[in-house]
Every structure is written in C-alpha cells, then in structure tokens.
Structure 1
Amino acid sequence: MKIFLQVFLLVFSLQSFAQNISGQAYYESKTTVDLDAFGNNREMTDDMKKMIAERMKSMLEKTYILTFNKEESIYKEEVKLDANPAGGRFGMMMGSFTPGPQYKNLKTGEMVEENEFFGKQFLVTDTIKNLDWKMGKESKQIGQYVAFKATAIKKVDPNDFSMARPNRNRDRKNEEKENAEVKTDSTKIEDPMDMIEIPEEIEVTAWFTPQIPVSNGPGEYAGLPGLILELNVHRTTLLCSKIVMNPKSAEKIEAPTKGKEVTREEYIKIVKEKTEELRDNFRNSGGRRGGGF
C-alpha cells in the first residue's frame, strides 16, 4: 500500500504541472550478445571475437532522443559518425530490423514508424499496444528522479530478429550427434537461420517516474503513470542519461511521412516473405549471397 500511496500522491500533486509539460529525454541503449553461443566457435580466437564485437558496437550501443509533450512524442536515434560500421549481409540484415523514427499519439492511440527494409522505405501505421503492467514494490533513484518498478509480459513477433537467441534445440541435437559419433558432411554450409530462435514472449521491466507525469517512454512503450526512465527488454537496456524539461527550442513533434504506407500486419507479412526468400536463395546457392527486393 505504501508504494501505491507514494505514486498516487506524486501524480496528484503534479496534475497542474502536466498540462503544459514538454521535454526531451536522452536514452543510452546497450545490447549484449554472447558470441560463444552462436555457431561453431571452437576455432574462433579471442582476437577474432574482439574484432567482431568492435564491428558490432555501432549496432549494440546507440543513443536515442524522445521529444515529448503530454499527448505526443517522436523517438529518434541520435545520428553519429560511425568509424567502424557493420557492413556486409549481416549489417544489412540487422539494420533492416531496427525501426526508424517512431511517433506516438497517446490521445488517439496512433503510432507511426518509418522502416527501411532491404533498401525499401515503409511507413508502418499501428496502434499503441499498452502492456498489462504490474506495479512492483521497488523504487530507486535515477538521476534526480524517484523511479518505480513495473513489469509486463510481451508477445514477440516471430519475425523480430532483434529478439533472436541461440537455438537451444540445435545445440542439443549437435551434442547428441557428437555423443553418438554421428558423422556429418563438413562441406555443408549451415543455414544461419537454424542457429537462432525467436522466443514467443519476454518479460519487460520498466522504471518510471511520476515526477514527469506523461504516460510515455522510449520506442513503442507507454501506459505507465510517469515517464519511463529505464527499460530492460530481453538483451537490451535503455537508460535515460539526460532530461531537458520545457526546452526553448526542440524538434517539432510530427508523424513521419516517408515510405510506402502499410499496416503493421502488412509489414510483418512483407518481412516474413522476404526472410523466406533469403533462406531459399541461401540454400539454392550453397551459402552464397543472393536475392534482392
């Protein structure tokens, strides 16, 4: 009861402040990847792992800016000059599953997001999916703000490769083959998609502050009685590093407009069909690159 009373008092005392509230929140994003868990890495040296990790750094560590008011927001990646961009098919693949600018309208429930998928620009329209948040008993200080914990279970799009993890069934089958001394064709190139699996659902942990009484947060996340300052989703942590309240000059909050307009369901279908096409091309070409839009 104490934690709910604290939240209620904070929200009640800040209602008048919320009417004209606006600001910019900067989030540092970090994603962890266990290179030892993917593929056959027995012959991969520490230097090779270090080189791969350095090349992936631009994809795994990013800064985002959420420009918000009481009802609307625009969430964008801060553009930086990358000295070591991840290139090749892997870089293109992962980049294609990273959303572009995301607009949310809390009043209408509308969400619009720009996505570039294998060289084609799409404007994805959707509704805000508010999760069934469960308030916890914990609180902590994040900067100058008191933040409260909330958790929720999120269903995962089976084509969302940002949620990929090592395929446990594959590792178990390989171990069984080794124990049974089953010989395999060493010249056969394994389908990279068989090395990973997408979980059906994941737990999301958010830390929000009623001291900034907007029901918003980074990316697609919203629905809590205060701005989300920290978010833990699968292997990614987003931590708010700076907040500028009621800035004199800030980006105008507008929905993005570039790309072919499609619904979320239509976009998921496009991604699924393209992924299957890439897999077929990979198998038919013996592992060589092939296929385009």
Structure 2
Amino acid sequence: MKSHLTLTLILSMLVFSLLAQDVQGVATYKSHRKVDIQLDSTHMNDEMLDRMQAMLKKQFEKEYTLEFTATESMYKEVETLDKPETMIGNGAEVMVVVSGSGAADELYKNVAENRYVNQNELMGKEFLIKDLLELPNWTLTKESKNIGTYTCFKATYTDSRTITRMVSSSENGKTDTKEESEEEEYTVMAWYTPQIPVKHGPQEYFGLPGLILEVTDGTETLLCNKVVLNPKNGVKIKEPTKGKVVSRAEYDKISEKKSKEMQERFQSSRRGEGRSVEIRMGG
C-alpha cells in the first residue's frame, strides 16, 4: 500500500512537470488592504479620521501583473501617478503620502534555481536584492471554490511579523511621537488552481501545485481578475539588473535606518510647525 502511494505521488509530480513545461501567461491582480489609523484627538476628530481611512484605502487599491513561464516569473505594479492627498480640518493639515512600488519595483522569481531578484527603489536610491527563495510550510486542504472559470483549492501557513505603530501623545502643549513594535502571529491563506500547473504567485508567494489566484495575510488581499494563457506574442521574462546588489538582510537594515532618519526629520519639523501631520506608507 505504501509503495503504491509513493508511485502515485511520483507519477503526479511527473504529470505536473510535463504539463507546466508548455504553460506561460500573464495574470493581473488587484490589492485591497485593511487600514487602521490610531491618533489622539489633538490631531483630528472622528470625521477627519474616517476621511483619512477612506483616502488610504483608495490609495492601497493597486494593480499588478505576474508574467510567468514554467520556471520563471516577473511581478510588478502597473505604474500610476500617485499624488499625495491633503485634507485640512480641526486646525491641522494632514498629508497622506503612499509610496507605491511603481515601475522601479520588479520581483523576479526562478523556482527551478530557488532564487529571486527584487529591483527596488528606496528614497531615491535603487537596490537589487538577491537571495534564495524560502518555501513556506504550506498546508493543503480539500476546501475549494471558483475564481472566475478556475476551480481553486485552499492552502495555508502560519508566520510572524513585527508590527510598528507611530504613537503620538501631547503634554503641556507639546506633542511627542514614538514607535511601538510588537510581534504578531498571522495566517496566510491562498487559493491556487491546478488547472494552471505552475508554482508561481503574486508577491513572495509560490510553491503550490498551481497558480495562486488569491492570497491574504489578514491585512492585504491580492485577487486575480484576469489570466491570459499562452499569449500570441509569448512571454519574455528578463531578470532585473539595475541597482546596488544587496541581500535581503542587508536591505532590511538599510530600510530600518532610513525609516528612523525619516522619523527624526518628521519630529524635528513638527516641533517647529506644530499643527501638521504627515503619514507616510511604503518606501
């Protein structure tokens, strides 16, 4: 019985591999993100907070494309002109700046060679992040649903992340802003379709026996709304080459340092002006 099961698994993997060799295409995804802003009443009233939540929700609704072949994929944002949105109320000017990935951010994955290259821009400087892919410990289930014309199956894994919040407080007419961080455990839930037998997916997600058409981490959801298989002109994927080469760990250190510098500049400017609030998301 055990040998029969092993043979079945081997045959299934061979069939998957043979089918994937001829598959290529372009998938389009749209993102939706939960927004939770917590500021004290000295910055804005409930009406302003609601308006800010709506502004951020709209700016986080972005579109991405995933070009893929059997072994390679390229994921990038559809470029748009993101403009800062400003609103004035309760005597305070609030500017919301959401830095999107834009054309400069490209994520290349090679599942055959177990590596990725992320071309990314951070505060005007371009980086080329090169590192190994880390396969999540996916748990496959029998639960299914349809996304468009495709039958999808659910897969999950659990991970943890550091949540950093900017907390403001006022005392004796002075406002102080500081970071508070905590570890949070979360579950990633993905829906993949074996009808498109490739191991690709949006963002960093990959490794399932079929293209991932929907994925959520409890905060952000990416949903595929269009798939074009074997397009007439084919799919040509070029690995990114522009930027300073760093590992993921090196890039995270640089990003953390830049974030602290930006926070210090923001606090310094607020001590001089006192009535403006800037909320900046992303790079």
Quickly name the TM-score band, shorter chain normalised: 0.7 to 0.9
Shift of 1:115: 1.3
Q: Answer 1 or 2: which has greater helix percent.
A: 1
Give the aligned partner of residue 231 of structure 2: 247
Give the TM-score of the pair, scaled to structure 2: 0.78
Q: Give the Cα–Cα distance (whole angstroms) in 1 for the partners of residues 121 and 45 of structure 2.
A: 32
Shift of 1:284: 5.2
Shift of 1:132: 0.3
Shift of 1:193: 2.7
Give the aligned partner of residue 279 of structure 2: none
Q: Give the Cα–Cα distance (whole angstroms) in 1 for the partners of residues 270 and 231 of structure 2.
A: 55
Give the aligned partner of residue 56 of structure 2: 56
| SS, match of residue 200 in structure 2 | coil
Q: Give the Cα–Cα distance (whole angstroms) in 2 for the partners of residues 203 and 288 of structure 1.
A: 43
Which shows bigger deviation, 275-284 or 245-254?
275-284
| SS, match of residue 273 in structure 1 | helix
Shift of 1:142: 0.9
Code of the aligned partner of 2:34? T
Q: Give the Cα–Cα distance (whole angstroms) in 2 for the partners of residues 76 and 97 of structure 1.
A: 8
Deviations 1:43-82 (A, max 9, x none): 4242x34542454345310111000011000001112355
Q: Give the Cα–Cα distance (whole angstroms) in 2 for the partners of residues 99 and 265 of structure 1.
A: 20
Query: Given the alignment, which residue of 135, 152, 160 partners 2:157?
Result: 152
2:108·2:240 contact (CA, 8 Å) conserved in 1? yes
Q: Give the Cα–Cα distance (whole angstroms) in 2 for the partners of residues 86 and 12 of structure 1.
A: 52
1:207·1:228 contact (CA, 8 Å) conserved in 2? yes
Q: Give the Cα–Cα distance (whole angstroms) in 2 for the partners of residues 206 and 44 of structure 1.
A: 38
1:133·1:151 contact (CA, 8 Å) conserved in 2? yes
> Compared with structure 1, are the counterparts of its residues 14 and 284 closer, same or farther at alpha carbon in structure 2 (3 Å cutoff)?
closer
Deviations 1:90-130 (A, max 9, x none): 526x5489981100000111111111111111111121111
Give the aligned partner of residue 230 of structure 1: 214
Shift of 1:257: 1.6
Q: Give the Cα–Cα distance (whole angstroms) in 2 for the partners of residues 98 and 186 of structure 1.
A: 46
Give the aligned partner of residue 189 of structure 1: 175
Q: Give the Cα–Cα distance (whole angstroms) in 1 for the partners of residues 13 and 221 of structure 2.
A: 26
Q: Answer 1 or 2: which has greater strand percent.
A: 2
Code of the aligned partner of 1:65? T
Give the aligned partner of residue 210 of structure 1: 194
Give the aligned partner of residue 269 of structure 1: 253
Give the aligned partner of residue 33 of structure 1: 35
| SS, match of residue 220 in structure 1 | coil
Q: CA RMSD in A?
A: 3.4
5+ unaligned residues in a row in structure 2: which ranges?
Answer: 1-8, 87-93, 274-283
Give the aligned partner of residue 126 of structure 2: 121
| SS, match of residue 252 in structure 2 | helix
Shift of 1:203: 1.1
